[in-house]
Amino acid sequence: MQTFDLEAQGLRALNSTLHAQAENTNQTQWEIINPKGSHAIAVGLDAPIEVNVKGSTGYYCAGMNKQATVHVHGSAGPGTAENMMSGTVIVEGDASQYAGATGHGGTLIIKGNASSRCGISMKGIDIIVHGNIGHMSAFMAQSGNIVVCGDAGDALGDSCYEARFFVRGSVKSLGADCIEKEMRPEHIAILEELLERGGCDAKASEFKRYGSARNLYNFDVDNAAAY
Amino acid sequence: MCGIVGLFLKDKSLEPQLGNMLTDMLITMTDRGPDSAGIAIYGDETAGNTKLTVQSDTPESDFAKLDSELQKKIAGKVAMRVKDTHAVLDIQADQVAAARAALAEIRPDVRVMSYGETLEIYKEVGLPKKVAERFDVRKMSGSHGIGHTRMATESAVTTMGAHPFNTGADQCLVHNGSLSNHNSLRRKLRRLGVHIETENDTEVGAAYLTWKMQTGSTLGEALQSSLDDLDGFFTFLVGTKDGFGVVRDPIACKPAVMAETDQYVAFGSEYRALVNLPGIEDARVWEPEPATVYFWSHNAAPTAQEKAA
């Protein structure tokens, strides 16, 4: 295992070292010590490596991730795993606002709570949160799944497209054009796989499904006066 | 973007280190706003006295014999401590209004930064490190304090545009964000007779809270109504003689992290600001909820003003 002391060696050295790891690297295990809330830790990775961050991170940790597994052993700042393409990001603590924003693929697992705007404009990522998520989560979400074992804040899924939201607890309010939907066997199957992947101690039958009412997809002539 | 830090000490043995801890926290936030920096410290008090912290761009001439001239003018005791561009005038509590009027007359270029029994505010244009050095903030002791490093968006980079803003006796405000209805609110408050000096948006926020409290609101009520009356983005940290409070606008896009241990309650715009505090590894760390007023007080039986918060 490679250990990298972020405080001593610096961020630029860390990220360029991780970027230098190729598809077939032998150095697949990395440990980052002294993260101390620094920004942009392990961003833009594109190799099947595992990076363990021993502490809390600041803005944009594991952004644009491809293939890699980034495991934060602490809490994460705003924009964690933003625009992730593939791979896995795990946060042991809480994640601040817009975690997993615009993510195209991969899995983001948050073991604590996620703050506001979780999964905003997500495009295929799977986000699994053991705790609660904040207001305006999944705003304009296009595809992918969000699983919330706790509660969701205000305006969940406002103006969403074809993303699915599974919430076990309460939803403070639903955003425009987001509705509760029937939980059919295929959704139970999808959710069971997600709960398994996220290591959640929860039963799929306890969740409700939310998604787009698809009323905003097309122009409605009755609304013409509003424009 | 701006950086805010705050530290409220529960453990009295840390009080001599307050300035030092706050300075480190503020310097960590330098890249959130390098225009200007300021610090509010709640330190010692002398019974029956009030501290008037004043600032001058020409301290050599303005502060020369200021204490004796002011003393003569208001016929009361005045003690002065000069710190770079700032001076703390220790006066009798019942002479604050007289002293302010006399100051405006004998030193028209001197600006009042704060007044209160324990509060002192120091702020200037420049990096947090430089500003803290100029005022020797590291050596200051106190029960709690607030710091701000500014990236100006709404108005000029000047001493008067720097934070914290004094909102009343022993009260101060720092702000991360930008208010979008400050022009109309400033006109409204000026019509009601509220003195607002600059074109700065935060000064309007501070004046609004002062006005609410002067017209009968508690600090908690004033903060609560700010959620309705202020439009824009804000994370506010407010200091009072006994503690500090936090409120964020309902959208809450301006960051805020809090940490609490048996020894302190700390606030930072980012977790980075808190990483060197003692026992942070085991602290309870969380993000304050949007549109929710939080308050911590040294006063075991908080006054009505604080209780509402």
Give the pLDDT confidence of B31-65 residue by residue, as tens digits: 999 999 999 999 999 999 999 999 999 999 999 99
Give the pLDDT confidence of B257-284 residue by residue, as tens digits: 999 999 999 999 999 999 999 999 999 9
Compute how many other C-beta atoms are within 10 angstroms of the C-beta atom of residue A29.
11
Same domain, B298 and B233: yes
In chain B, how many domains are there? 2
Which band of pLDDT confidence, cut at 50, 70 and 90, is reported for residue B300? Answer: low
Q: Is the pTM of this model over 0.95?
A: no
Strands (E), B56-134: 78-83, 86-92, 111-116, 119-125
The answer to whether the CB atoms of A37 and B252 lie below 8 A apart is no
Same domain, B178 and B254: yes
Mean pLDDT of chain B: 93
For position A89, what pLDDT does the model report?
Answer: 98
Q: Per-residue pLDDT for B308 more than 50?
A: no
Question: Distance (Å) from the C-alpha of residue A50 to the closest C-alpha of chain B?
Answer: 24
Is B23 within the bounds of a domain?
yes
Mean pLDDT of chain A: 96
Percent of chain B predicted with pLDDT > 90 = 86
Percent of chain A predicted with pLDDT > 90 = 93
Give the pLDDT confidence of B76-101 residue by residue, as tens digits: 999 999 999 999 999 999 999 999 99
For position B301, what pLDDT does the model report?
Answer: 53
For position B297, what pLDDT does the model report?
Answer: 87
List of residues 6+ apart from B205 with CB closer than 8 A: B165, B173, B175, B179, B182, B226, B230, B234, B236
Which of B251, B252, B270 minimises the CB distance to A58?
A: B270
Average pLDDT over residues A194-212: 98
Question: Distance (Å) from the C-alpha of residue B128 to the closest C-alpha of chain A?
Answer: 19
Question: Distance (Å) from the C-alpha of residue A59 to the closest C-alpha of chain B?
Answer: 9
- Helix-helix angle B96-106:B66-74, to 10 degrees: 120
Give the pLDDT confidence of B165-183 residue by residue, as tens digits: 998 899 999 999 999 999 9
For position B309, what pLDDT does the model report?
Answer: 41
**ipTM, two decimals:** 0.91
Is B196 within the bounds of a domain?
yes
Average pLDDT over residues B293-297: 90
For position A151, what pLDDT does the model report?
Answer: 98
DSSP per position, chain A: -EEEEHHHH-HHHHHHHHHT--TT-S--EEEEE--TT-SSTT-S-BSS-EEEE-S---TTTTTT-BS-EEEESS-B-TTTTTT--SSEEEESS-B-TTTTTT--SSEEEESS-B-TTTTTT-EEEEEEESS-B-TTTTTT--EEEEEESS-B-TTBTTT--S-EEEESS-BS-B-TTEEEE---HHHHHHHHHHHHHTT----GGG-EEEEE---SSS--GGGGGG-
List of residues 6+ apart from A179 with CB closer than 8 A: A210, A211, A212, A213
For position B198, what pLDDT does the model report?
Answer: 86
For position B219, what pLDDT does the model report?
Answer: 83
Same domain, B67 and B209: no
Supply the CATH number for residue B70's domain. Answer: 3.30.70.2540
Same domain, B148 and B293: yes
Same domain, B143 and B63: no
Is B297 within the bounds of a domain?
yes
Q: Per-residue pLDDT for B303 more than 90?
A: no
The active-site residue out of B1, B2, B70, B271 is B2
The answer to whether the CB atoms of A75 and B271 lie below 8 A apart is yes
Which residues in chain B have their CB less than 8 angstroms from residue A93's CB? 285
Does residue B2 carry a catalytic annotation? Answer: yes
Same domain, B26 and B61: no
Give the pLDDT confidence of A82-93 residue by residue, as tens digits: 999 999 999 999
Range of the domain at B226: 3-44+128-307
Which band of pLDDT confidence, cut at 50, 70 and 90, is reported for residue B299? Answer: confident
Contact B147, B30 (CB under 8 A): no
Give the pLDDT confidence of A95-142 residue by residue, as tens digits: 999 999 999 999 999 999 999 999 999 999 999 999 999 999 999 999
Same domain, B60 and B165: no
Between residues B197 and B149, the one the model is more confident about: B149
Q: Which of B92, B117, B142 is the last residue of a domain?
A: B117
Average pLDDT over residues A179-187: 98
Q: How far is CA A31 from CA A14, A17, A51, A72, A90, in A?
A: 11, 12, 6, 10, 14
The answer to whether the CB atoms of B290 and A116 lie below 8 A apart is yes
Which residues in chain B have their CB less than 8 angstroms from residue A36's CB? 272, 275
Give the pLDDT confidence of A25-37 residue by residue, as tens digits: 899 999 999 999 9
For position A222, what pLDDT does the model report?
Answer: 82
Q: Per-residue pLDDT for A173 more than 60?
A: yes
Spatial CA neighbour of B8 closest among B44, B51, B41, B32 = B41
Same domain, B70 and B149: no
List of residues 6+ apart from B282 with CB closer than 8 A: B261
Residue ranges of B 240-279 with Cβ closer than 8 A to chain A:
250-253, 255, 257, 270-275
Give the pLDDT confidence of B116-151 residue by residue, as tens digits: 999 999 999 999 999 999 999 999 999 999 999 999
């139970």: which residue's tokens? A188
Is B168 within the bounds of a domain?
yes
Supply the CATH number for residue B298's domain. Answer: 3.60.20.10
Is B106 within the bounds of a domain?
yes
For position B304, what pLDDT does the model report?
Answer: 42
Same domain, B274 and B290: yes
Average pLDDT over residues B208-216: 91
Same domain, B61 and B171: no
C-alpha B51/C-alpha A67 separation (Å) is 60
Q: Per-residue pLDDT for B305 more than 50?
A: no
The answer to whether the CB atoms of A115 and B271 lie below 8 A apart is no
Average pLDDT over residues A10-22: 96
Q: What burial class does residue A14 get, using C-beta atoms within 10 Å of its C-beta: 0-12 exposed, 13-18 middle, 19+ buried?
A: buried
Spatial CA neighbour of A130 closest among A105, A159, A94, A163 = A94
DSSP state of B180: S
Q: Which of B98, B117, B136 is the last residue of a domain?
A: B117
Whether B5 has its CB under 8 Å from any CB of chain A: the answer is no
For position B58, what pLDDT does the model report?
Answer: 97
Is B122 within the bounds of a domain?
no
Residue ranges of A 51-70 with Cβ closer than 8 A to chain B:
56, 58-59
Is B111 within the bounds of a domain?
yes
Is B123 within the bounds of a domain?
no
Which of B251, B272, B285 minimises the CB distance to A58?
A: B272
Same domain, B300 and B288: yes
Same domain, B105 and B51: yes
